[in-house]
């Protein structure tokens, strides 16, 4: 066995998001978000689950910080619920909301844990949705106002900011596929939403820098290799378009290349929502790219070329509860490609993890060996990435604890901590114990 050691300042972290863990959906002045509305709409979420209570983190955050400290986490990535700060999306500020996050930040710093704050993890204020939501340009202005208030309150202590989490998912799954809030199914809306999201990011950048001197600011994207199912021309073209649609659609405008025209053409998008000056603002430099990586995708053309029938590379691979292939090599390939093609100043893996059907055993423990192995194999790839000279600075496992997995409700368990949703008891899983040891050693076995 070889021991792969990490640089001394490598940041080992865990991630969560407000709606998935907090609960207290209407307490202390919080306004309604699109996820409150969506989860309260019958038929939208598996089993009729809602985030009303979730992990009750809003009341148990002290216990959760203690848990993180015990794990030895160097960093914690969480998101702020816009509707706790501005219950109506803009205008009146809810002091109780700010206090909640301010206290959390103080407790983290006290515990020696660096906060990484995501401003937007999908929970748009319902009032803003009623005015058109993300397809409406005005939402970017409201976001800048929200960023102003949050960073003015926390910017002295929080020095690492992520504007948006996975805008592709907000736009595509929320406005085109309809599986996420607000549940719309309109291509034009989803494309306009993607642009307003990038504008919101751009509008927030200078605000954050002004209110949080010396801060590092980035954006988190869901990215993954799009691999052709065969060497056929049709499959390779499909993979290239899929890469354009999922990866380049955000990466290109963020790096000054504008929207990928091959994708726009294929979608029949006229891009008439782009106004003069937008693309320049969107291309303003960021300090790091946040990468959420779970799996790769196999691209297969719907009309196979007869002379070169698609072959499935996929078969035989280990699959998680989400139906996602376990493919650690993809993380290395992805980070290498990002650095080669886009050359961002730094990278964090802001999410990586796996859902498996965990259960408490007779001794009250959770022996989640598949997740333990998943994390270990991906961490090995981080080492390889750093060895290749790519400025990768940290890793956040998804997730600190089991939580509300959006349309899948509580049926998917991603945590390194098990949540008993009846008692709200937290139980560190085997993967959590192993992660604790990995952090302590600052190394992984290969």
Active site members: 166, 351
Q: Could you say which residues in the range 2-61 bind ligand FCB, by CB under 6 A?
A: 17, 20
- Going by their DSSP bridges, the two strands 443-445 and 3-5 should be labelled as antiparallel
User: What is the number of helices (H) and of strands (E) in the chain?
Assistant: 16, 14
Q: Quick one: which of 114, 116, 113, 136 has its CA closest to 124?
A: 136
- Choose between 180 and 426: whose C-beta lies nearer to ligand FCB: 180
Please list, in sequence order, all residues whose beta carbon lies within 8 angstroms of the beta carbon of residue 196, skipping any fewer than 6 positions away: 134, 135, 136, 137, 139, 140, 273
- Choose between 332 and 406: whose C-beta lies nearer to ligand FCB: 406
Interface with ligand FCB (CB under 6 A), residue total 12
- Choose between 230 and 297: whose C-beta lies nearer to ligand FCB: 297
Q: Which tokens sit at 397?
A: 């496992």
Helices 430-441, 369-387: crossing angle, 10 deg rounding:
30
For 386-398, b/e burial (b = at least 16 CB within 10 A) is beeebebbbbbbb
Interface pattern 370-399 for ligand FCB (x via CB under 6 A): ----------------------------x-
- In terms of phi and psi (left: phi > 0; alpha: psi -120 to 50; beta: otherwise), the region of 86 is beta
State the nearest-atom distance from the C-beta of 211 to ligand FCB, in Å. 25
Q: Could you say which residues in the range 338-357 bind ligand FCB, by CB under 6 A?
A: 351
- Choose between 235 and 351: whose C-beta lies nearer to ligand FCB: 351
State the nearest-atom distance from the C-beta of 351 to ligand FCB, in Å. 6
- Choose between 208 and 223: whose C-beta lies nearer to ligand FCB: 223
Q: Could you say which residues in the range 407-446 bind ligand FCB, by CB under 6 A?
A: 414
Q: Quick one: which of 399, 375, 405 has its CA closest to 173?
A: 405
Decide if residue 154 touches ligand FCB (CB under 6 A). no
Distances (CA, A) of 120 to 114, 299, 388, 415: 19, 30, 32, 21
Helix (H, G, I), strand (E, B) or coil at 262: helix
State the nearest-atom distance from the C-beta of 354 to ligand FCB, in Å. 9
- Choose between 189 and 351: whose C-beta lies nearer to ligand FCB: 351
State the nearest-atom distance from the C-beta of 91 to ligand FCB, in Å. 28
Decide if residue 406 touches ligand FCB (CB under 6 A). yes
State the nearest-atom distance from the C-beta of 353 to ligand FCB, in Å. 7
Q: Could you say which residues in the range 220-249 bind ligand FCB, by CB under 6 A?
A: 222
Q: Please check whether residue 378 is in contact with residue 396, taking contact to mean a CB–CB distance below 8 angstroms.
A: no
CA 54 – CA 40 distance, rounded (Å): 14
State the nearest-atom distance from the C-beta of 306 to ligand FCB, in Å. 37
- Choose between 34 and 207: whose C-beta lies nearer to ligand FCB: 34
State the nearest-atom distance from the C-beta of 122 to ligand FCB, in Å. 7
CA 116 – CA 170 distance, rounded (Å): 20
Q: Could you say which residues in the range 274-293 bind ligand FCB, by CB under 6 A?
A: 292
Decide if residue 405 touches ligand FCB (CB under 6 A). yes
Q: Quick one: which of 322, 303, 297 has its CA closest to 244?
A: 297
Interface pattern 205-224 for ligand FCB (x via CB under 6 A): -----------------x--
CA 217 – CA 209 distance, rounded (Å): 8
Q: Could you say which residues in the range 155-214 bind ligand FCB, by CB under 6 A?
A: 165-166, 169
Torsion angle defined by CA atoms of residues 311, 316, 319 and 323, in that order, rounded to the nearest 10 degrees: 40
Q: Which residues bind ligand FCB (CB under 6 A)?
A: 17, 20, 165-166, 169, 222, 292, 351, 398, 405-406, 414
């Amino acid at each position: 066995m070889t021991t792969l050691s990490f640089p001394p300042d490598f940041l080992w972290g865990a991630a969560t998001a407000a709606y998935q863990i907090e609960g207290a959906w209407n307490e202390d002045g919080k306004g309604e978000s699109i996820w409150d509305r969506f989860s309260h709409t019958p038929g939208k979420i598996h089993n009729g689950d809602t985030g009303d209570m979730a992990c009750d983190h809003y009341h148990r955050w002290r216990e959760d910080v203690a848990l993180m400290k015990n794990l030895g986490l160097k960093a914690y990535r969480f998101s702020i619920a816009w509707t706790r700060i501005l219950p109506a999306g803009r205008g009146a500020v809810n002091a109780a909301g700010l206090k909640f996050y301010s206290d959390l930040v103080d407790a983290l710093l006290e515990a020696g844990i660096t906060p990484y704050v995501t401003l937007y993890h999908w929970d748009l204020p319902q009032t803003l949705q009623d005015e058109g939501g993300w397809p409406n340009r005005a939402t970017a202005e409201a976001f800048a106002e929200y960023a102003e208030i949050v960073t003015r309150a926390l910017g002295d202590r929080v020095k690492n900011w992520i504007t948006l989490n996975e805008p592709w998912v907000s736009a595509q799954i929320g406005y085109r596929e309809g599986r996420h809030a607000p549940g719309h199914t309109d291509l034009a809306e989803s494309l306009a939403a993607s642009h307003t999201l990038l504008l919101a990011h751009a509008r927030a950048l200078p605000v954050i820098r002004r209110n949080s001197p010396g801060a590092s600011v980035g954006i988190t994207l869901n990215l993954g290799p799009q691999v052709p199912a065969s060497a056929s021309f049709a499959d390779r073209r499909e993979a290239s378009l899929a890469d354009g649609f999922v990866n380049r659609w955000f990466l290109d405008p963020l790096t000054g290349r504008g929207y990928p025209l091959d994708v726009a053409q294929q979608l029949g998008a006229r891009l008439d929502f782009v106004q003069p000056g937008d693309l320049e603002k969107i291309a303003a430099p960021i300090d790091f790219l946040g990468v959420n990586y779970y799996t790769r995708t196999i691209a297969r053309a719907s009309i196979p070329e007869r002379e070169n029938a698609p072959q499935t590379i996929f078969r035989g691979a280990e699959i998680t509860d989400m139906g996602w292939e376990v493919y650690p090599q993809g993380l290395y390939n992805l980070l290498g490609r990002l650095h080669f093609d886009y050359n961002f100043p730094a990278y964090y893996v802001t999410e990586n993890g796996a859902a498996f059907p965990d259960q408490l055993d007779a001794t009250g423990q959770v022996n989640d060996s598949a997740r333990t192995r998943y994390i270990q194999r991906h961490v090995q790839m981080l080492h390889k990435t750093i060895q290749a000279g790519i400025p990768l600075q940290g890793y956040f496992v998804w997730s600190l604890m089991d939580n509300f997995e959006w349309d899948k409700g509580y049926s998917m368990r991603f945590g390194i901590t098990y949540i008993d949703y009846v008692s709200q008891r937290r139980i560190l899983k085997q993967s959590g114990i192993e992660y604790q040891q990995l952090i302590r050693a600052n190394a992984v076995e290969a």
